[in-house]
Amino acid sequence: MDAALELDRVSKRYGAVTAVDDLSFTARKGRILGFLGPNGAGKTSTLRMVLGLSAVSAGRIDVLGAPDGRSVRDRIGFLPEERGLYRRMTPVEAIVFLAGLKGVPAGEARRRARDMLQEQGLGEAQNRQIRQLSKGMAQKVQLIAAIVHRPELVILDEPFSGLDPVNQQTLETVIRKLAEDGATVVFSTHVMQHAERLCEHVVLLARGRKAFDGEVAEARASVPRALVLEGALEAGDAVGLPGVASVASQSLGEGLWRHVCALKAGANGQEALKTAFARGLDIQRFDLREPTLHDAFIVLTGENPGPEATVAGEAAA
Amino acid sequence: MRRLLQIAAREYVAYVRTVGFWLSMLALPLGMALVMGASGYMEASAPPPAIVLVDRTPGQIYQQPVTAALTTPGGLRERPRHEVVAPPVALPGDTAAIGAALKPWLAGEARLPGKRKLAAAYVIHGQGEAVAVDVWTDNPLLGATAKIRQTVADQMQQSRLVAAGISPATLAEIRALEPRITDWSPKTSQKASLLNRLPGVIGFGAAMLLWSVIFTGAGILLNGVIEEKSSKVLEVLLSSATVPEILFGKILGVAGVTFTVLGVWGGVGALLMSLFAPAQAADVGRVLLSGGLIFYFAFYLVCGYLMYASVFTAIGSFCETTREAQTLLGPIMILLTIPVIFLSQALRRPDTPALDILSWIPPFTPFMMTARAASNPPLWQVVGTGAIMLATVAVVVWIAGRAFRAGALSTGKVDLKGLVAKLRGGE
């Protein structure tokens, strides 16, 4: 079997509320899977079921050959959404303790902890109490604690939240390295750019239901390309251009407009542009935009996963 | 088991490394040493209170016996409790004016030689059967008045009896008459000794020990879990170990902390007792080892601690602040105060029916059965309450485990309805 994690029609209900509804997907061994959705989509509930922290209401889970993460917890690394470490411990002590729970002997855990802290630029902080570290440093310590036992499956719940851009970049490097070393990485996020950079395979979740399961390119292909035109031209002018399927317009003030023209399948926008100039339409700025995963998410789920909504996304919607 | 022990070890080390642990470890011995040292120093360094004794009765027949009664050595150090001093000023002939004459010394405005304060003045006056004692002092706890009353009364009664024709020698013989009282042990049919009373005292002590272990241990557990919940460590732990491993690891670790403190206190106490009262120390050891009493205590100690510690740990898992915990803790604290009320009763009247009834109610069983050890409760009661205790502990630990998991993963405040729903759903 090629799957490290498989969910088959899994549901989770809290009383009358259905947090996860009939969810199925597979995470292949040695790959990075992005588990995407807005806050409240059911990502954390799903990951908790995978780990065996909460029971499945319906369906079946297979984690590294086990029905949930409890019996294979030593082979899983987990970074929870809400980070927490013993504040009065030093990074080395905290990592050694958590590695010990996963079966790593203390001496080996200490050696790995020091090496990994050094790699992450925390060599000088390794003997300070965690409460004395910055938030970013503490998050790095927590990540090391989650992977120090060299797990086969790494589950990261919103790993990028609260990190500055530099640390986000570092984390992306760590995730890539884990996959290169053979680990399967499943990470949840509502920030699509990370998934776009890291994953080939994504699962999109909205209101507890799966909206998409497949390759990133496949998700992007579900969204039409968009031609953005800004100037004094009117919506009616844009609608009549060849290859344009629909137009979303936004006033920029002083008689200027931004028209986001969703293109028909196969249309490349060149023809529309040529026609617009040939017709002498007042165009002060134009841009041909490739769809992003964020755009795909909006199209596929009808929801905006985060604050970084794009013009192409608006057009597609 | 490996993970359980690792969690227990972390808990233990986390507390032992704190300043609070060492303060609590040293607080009791230091406090006791301070109290004993201070009282000993005060007794050794302070001279006995100075008293002026004035006998204005004909023949001054009370002066000598009352002085002797007041200055007889007593107490642990065998020192006189009072010192009878000469009046610092010539006293007026009028008895009623003596107090006024001594007022500057009694009020501390004037001092006796050696800068001592005059503690009291006793003026004995009258004659025959109309003897009176005027007491001038602002210290009612001086302890001299009772002695003077008794001595003067003895002398008055003696005068009357001598006047009635009884010789002083006969009188002395009469006074010496008293019954010989012998304590018999109903259990051994031999003369009772301290050894016979020890089981009751040790049972009471063991019950109080259990109570303090639960109170301190459960408090430590509660605060520890609240801290872990608020700092989001619990979810990390839950992904690395099973609920029973976490629950029992914590309980074991904190039990280690509590028993380390108690062990040090007990060890120091046993050492001091074996040095200064070796016979009594041997008696205590004999009582604990005879008839498996120590295992009897250990059984109820383990059951009681497990029951309350699991409940406190589960409550802590629902709370991110101690204020949140207080609302859930109210009923438990009420339960915990009830045994204290009845424990002293168990020492004085171990056969009181109320103690029998309370022994069958699981929250009180460990305390009551421990305290009743001295009265040799019937075997069927020991077996019955023990079985109920074991069943209760199993149920409480099971529910606490479910509650702990639900609490650890919950967010926001949890009301009673929500708590029950989470327990039923196991979430």
Cβ A175 vs Cβ A151: under 8 Å: no
Q: Does B235 touch chain A (CB under 8 A)?
A: yes
> Best-predicted range by mean pLDDT among A35-39, B149-153, B277-281, B407-411?
B149-153
Q: Where are the domains of chain B?
A: 48-174, 193-425
**What average pLDDT does range A50-69 have in this prediction?**
86
Q: What confidence tens digit (pLDDT) does each residue in B50-108 have?
A: 999 999 998 888 999 999 988 888 765 677 888 999 999 888 888 888 888 999 998 88
**What average pLDDT does range A120-148 have in this prediction?**
86
Does residue A177 have a pLDDT over 50? yes
| pLDDT value at residue B388 | 92
Does residue B214 have a pLDDT over 60? yes
The angle that helices B19-45 and B243-276 make with each other, rounded to 10 degrees, is 20
Q: Does B233 touch chain A (CB under 8 A)?
A: yes
Query: Are A82 and B232 within 8 A, CB to CB?
Result: yes
Query: Are B409 and A48 within 8 A, CB to CB?
Result: yes
Q: What confidence tens digit (pLDDT) does each residue in B163-200 have?
A: 888 888 888 888 888 888 887 766 667 776 666 667 77
| pLDDT value at residue A310 | 38
Q: What confidence tens digit (pLDDT) does each residue in B291-322 have?
A: 777 788 888 888 888 888 888 888 888 877 77
- Name every chain B residue with its beta carbon within 8 A of the beta carbon of A142: 236
Query: Are A84 and B2 within 8 A, CB to CB?
Result: no
| pLDDT value at residue A316 | 36
Separation of alpha carbons B221 and B216, rounded Å: 9
Q: How far is B250 from chain A (nearest CA, A)?
A: 14
Q: Select the residue of A53, A88, A100 nearest B239 (Cβ to Cβ).
A: A53
- Name every chain B residue with its beta carbon within 8 A of the beta carbon of A87: 231
Q: Which is higher by pLDDT, B346 or A237? A: A237
| pLDDT value at residue A307 | 45
Query: Are B235 and A86 within 8 A, CB to CB?
Result: no
Chain B residue whose CA is closest to A155: B239
Q: Token pair for residue B103?
A: 């007022």
Cβ B88 vs Cβ B100: under 8 Å: no
Chain B residue whose CA is closest to A44: B409
Separation of alpha carbons B388 and B384, rounded Å: 6
| pLDDT value at residue B411 | 64
Query: Are A73 and B239 within 8 A, CB to CB?
Result: yes
Name the DSSP class of B239: T
Chain A residue whose CA is closest to B233: A84
Separation of alpha carbons B238 and A66, rounded Å: 17
Chain B residue whose CA is closest to A98: B240
Q: Over pLDDT 70: what percentage of chain B? A: 91
Chain A residue whose CA is closest to B4: A101
Average pLDDT, whole number, for chain A? 84
Q: Does A66 touch chain B (CB under 8 A)?
A: no
Does residue B11 have a pLDDT over 50? yes
Cβ A178 vs Cβ A186: under 8 Å: no
> Best-predicted range by mean pLDDT among A65-69, A152-156, B125-129?
A152-156
